[in-house]
Amino acid sequence: MSVVLVVNSGSSSFKYQLIEVERAETLASGLVERIGADAGQARHRNESAARAGGAEASAWDSTVDVPDHFAAFQVMLDAFAEHGPSLEEHAPIAVGHRVVQGGARFFEPTIITDLVKINIDELSALAPLHNPANLAGIEAAQRAFPGVPHVAVFDTAFHQTMPPAAYTYAIDREVAAKHRVRRYGFHGTSHRFVSRAAAEFLGRPVEELRLIVLHLGNGASACAISGGRSVETSMGMTPLEGLVMGTRSGDVDPAVLLHLQRRAGLSADEVDRLLNSRSGILGLGGHADMRDLQAAADSGDAAAMLALEVYTHRVRSYVGAYAAQLGRVDAIVFTAGVGENSPMVREWSLAGLEGFGVEVDRERNHERARGARRISTDASRVDVLVVPTNEELEIARQALAAVG
């Protein structure tokens, strides 16, 4: 049995899972939040113990002192030592790291060497919010687990198959080339996993299928997948473009940014914060969390209602665009926190597409079930599916494959 530790390290938090890859079983999961703040927060769950029935003893929650990522890793090691499972008994043979921006340089899971770290650092220019945090997590993990290979799995890798027509922005090509301005796309690990899982559910080889995958989580992106390869995706040079997200605007006329700088006197950093942190459903409806937004809309809050309408209108536009690019659609697949759990978002997003052969079944859409399922009517020409994503398992699998 091969055990892999998966690390998803963000600027102020990191999440981890210890996974037995062949059995696709999570042995432990946890997160450390508010790194660098006065009081950090840690959560750890011994999943094997939970499955064995000790739900209370298996979960641990605490306020901790975590000035930096090294301290956060120590908190994780302490949690394993105190609450299990034992890292001696289930020693990871590799550590898999989510790295958000791999640029045009990385298209495969990559064993992390000093040179790879230099490259990831250098790519920070194209992902200033993500890559430095990913790198801090790598440094800390290498110190905590010095004896095993560390593997970087890039969000951008799956989208390296996009054709130039899809990834090129129509701006002066010399300026674009000099600054590596192009679309890279993100959430690739999830889009890859979900497209394979959808094919398995449909009982057909992924090579035969044309799919539209809608990853609607905190960040959100759509992906057109033909024969198992990404041919177009909604995120661009950074994870800001495309769909409406929790706090990110998605598409806006680029002239809006200039207008806000020239007329409203905002600095470039202020515009950055506005679009990345104070927009999306938070900016429109006052809630970054879809559950809270839906509750507000249910109680008659007009701003929350409009936020939901803008959100689902945008999803529908991308579905139409990607259907046109694919020429034929076998299935539309919803995934991630919102996509897996919100019947309302799924229904509204595909409303009015009956003329294109897309018919959501009301009852199936509202069924609460785990695992992959079909929510379209039997008569629907296009299958509409809900398929849970598992980025951590996909990272563990790819890390294991990379170390042989």
Ligand X SMILES: Nc1ncnc2c1ncn2[C@@H]1O[C@H](COP(=O)(O)OP(=O)(O)O)[C@@H](O)[C@H]1O
Residues 6 or more apart whose Cβ sits within 8 Å of residue 301: 285, 286
Residue 215 C-alpha from the chain's centroid:
7
Confirm if 141 and 95 have CB atoms less than 8 A apart: yes
Confirm if 212 and 328 have CB atoms less than 8 A apart: no
Smallest separation, CB 318 to ligand UVW (Å)? 15
Residue from 135, 223, 336, 353 binding ligand X (CB under 6 A)? 336
Residue from 84, 219, 250, 285 binding ligand X (CB under 6 A)? 219
Which of ligand UVW, Mg ion, ligand X, none is residue 342 near (CB under 5 to 8 Å by kind)? ligand X
390 annotated as a binding-site residue: no
User: Toward ligand UVW, which CB reaches closer, 181 or 303?
Assistant: 181
Encoded tokens for 239: 């994870």
How many residues touch Mg ion under the rule CB under 5 A: the total is 1
Encoded tokens for 279: 């927009």
- Residue window 222-251: x/- pattern of binding to ligand UVW, with contact defined by CB under 6 A: -----------------x------------
Stretch that binds Mg ion, among 27-35, 170-178, 209-217, 276-284 (CB under 5 A): 209-217
Residue 246 binding Mg ion, by CB under 5 A: no
Residue 188 binding Mg ion, by CB under 5 A: no
Smallest separation, CB 390 to ligand X (Å)? 11
Stretch that binds ligand UVW, among 171-179, 211-219, 308-316, 396-404 (CB under 6 A): 211-219
Question: What residue number has its CB nearest to ligand UVW?
Answer: 219
- Residue window 211-230: x/- pattern of binding to Mg ion, with contact defined by CB under 5 A: ------x-------------
Residue from 338, 375, 386, 400 binding ligand X (CB under 6 A)? 338
The one catalytic residue among 78, 114, 155, 378: 155
Q: Is 330 a catalytic residue?
A: no
287 annotated as a binding-site residue: no
State the Cα–Cα distance between residues 123 and 143, nearest whole angstrom: 22
Smallest separation, CB 280 to ligand UVW (Å)? 11
Residue from 84, 219, 250, 280 binding ligand UVW (CB under 6 A)? 219
Closest CA to 223 of 214, 192, 334: 214
Residue from 100, 141, 202, 209 binding ligand UVW (CB under 6 A)? 100
- 331-335 and 210-216 strand pairing: parallel
Within 177-196, the residues that bind ligand UVW by CB under 6 A are 186-187
Which of Mg ion, ligand X, ligand UVW, none is residue 250 near (CB under 5 to 8 Å by kind)? none
Stretch that binds ligand X, among 30-38, 42-50, 256-264, 330-338 (CB under 6 A): 330-338
- Residue window 287-326: x/- pattern of binding to Mg ion, with contact defined by CB under 5 A: ----------------------------------------
Q: For residue 376, list its beta bridge partners.
A: 360
Smallest separation, CB 219 to ligand UVW (Å)? 2
204 annotated as a binding-site residue: no
Residues that bind ligand UVW (CB under 6 A): 100, 155, 186-187, 217-219, 239
Residues that bind ligand X (CB under 6 A): 217-219, 246, 289-291, 294, 336-338, 341-342
Residues annotated within a binding site for Mg(2+): 8, 391
Q: Catalogue the active-site residues.
A: 155
Residues that bind Mg ion (CB under 5 A): 217
